[in-house]
């Protein structure tokens, strides 16, 4: 059996590896040797190939008896959002469980919205959803909010609204300060699902809604 050992700079590892606990604060550079041994990652018993932001495969490795995993690759394989803050040297991971927060529809009104978007209760797969809105159209329509840099995370339950045939291409696009931060396209048979999106203290939020979809229990943190 062959082992592949490579030298790494410790300063670069902080942004790319995930350990089981909190590491002691440390800065600077240090040359270390790490061990590669074709380590495999299984999530829910499914073999997973982890990739970096450029789509290149990133392998786990062992250092001083601890196995290190690539943060972005593992988090995205578990359907979570990942953000690296270079100023604070921090990795942020948002899993698809809504944190506690204020309902969007309780704390602010949209400054602009298309007529086919209704801010009212609606049903998805027979369950009623509140504190959200839905698009009564087979076309693209938008709603806009002024966040005033007060919030870090937007969470919501997304799905096909009852009473209309599900269609290919249904979904939403989340845009913060003119930049798309999340695009979600729903499978025609997909049940409602919870999502969390990083807002990064943005000023303006725009949501594009495609083809009879609803966003319920929308919260801001």
- Model confidence pLDDT, tens digit, residues 93-109: 765 443 457 899 999 99
Please indicate, yes or no, whether residues 109 and 204 belong to a single structural domain of this protein: yes
Q: Does residue 88 sit within a domain? A: no
Please indicate, yes or no, whether residues 130 and 30 belong to a single structural domain of this protein: no
Q: Does residue 97 sit within a domain? A: no
CATH number at residue 135: 2.60.120.1060
Model pTM above 0.75: no
Pairing of strands 193-198, 122-124: unpaired
Q: Tell me how far CA of residue 37 lies from CA of 46, 58, 63, 67, 114, in angstroms.
A: 19, 13, 12, 11, 55
**Is the pLDDT score of 146 beyond 90?**
yes
Provide the pLDDT for residue 100: 52
Phi, then psi, of 11 in degrees rounded to 5? -60, -30
> What's the average model confidence in pLDDT over 7-11?
40
Please indicate, yes or no, whether residues 128 and 198 belong to a single structural domain of this protein: yes
Please indicate, yes or no, whether residues 196 and 109 belong to a single structural domain of this protein: yes
Q: Does residue 89 sit within a domain? A: no
Distance CA 153, CA 112 (A): 21
Q: Does residue 46 sit within a domain? A: yes
Q: Residue 13 has what DSSP assignment?
A: H
Contact 60, 66 (CB under 8 A): no
> What's the average model confidence in pLDDT over 104-124?
95
Report the number of distinct structural domains present in the chain: 2
Give the length of the chain: 221
Please indicate, yes or no, whether residues 215 and 119 belong to a single structural domain of this protein: yes
Q: Which domain holds residue 61?
A: 4-82
CA dihedral (61, 66, 69, 74) positive or negative: positive
Distance CA 64, CA 71 (A): 19
Q: pLDDT tier at 197 (50, 70, 90 boundaries)?
A: very high
Distance CA 192, CA 167 (A): 14
* Neighbouring C-beta atoms of residue 136, cutoff 10 Å: 18
Domain finish residue from 50, 82, 114: 82
């Amino acid at each position: 059996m062959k082992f592949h050992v490579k030298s790494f700079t410790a300063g670069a590892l902080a942004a790319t590896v995930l350990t089981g606990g909190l590491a002691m604060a440390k800065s600077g550079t240090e040359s270390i040797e790490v061990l590669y041994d074709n380590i495999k990652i299984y999530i829910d018993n499914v073999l997973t190939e982890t990739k970096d932001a450029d789509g290149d495969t990133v392998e786990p490795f062992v250092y001083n008896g601890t196995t290190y995993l690539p943060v972005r690759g593992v988090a995205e394989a578990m359907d979570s959002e990942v953000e690296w803050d270079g100023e604070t040297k921090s990795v942020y991971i948002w899993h698809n469980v809504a944190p506690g927060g204020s309902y969007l529809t309780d704390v602010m009104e949209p400054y602009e919205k298309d007529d086919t978007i209704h801010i009212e209760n609606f049903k998805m797969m027979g369950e009623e959803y509140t504190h959200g809105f839905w698009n009564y159209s087979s076309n693209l329509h938008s709603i806009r909010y002024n966040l005033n840099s007060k919030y870090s995370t937007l969470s919501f339950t997304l799905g096909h609204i009852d009473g209309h045939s599900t269609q290919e291409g249904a979904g939403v696009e989340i845009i913060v300060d003119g930049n798309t931060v999340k695009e979600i396209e729903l499978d025609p048979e997909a049940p409602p699902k919870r999502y969390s999106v990083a807002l990064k203290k943005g000023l303006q939020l725009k949501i594009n809604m495609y083809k009879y979809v609803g966003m319920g229990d929308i919260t801001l943190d």
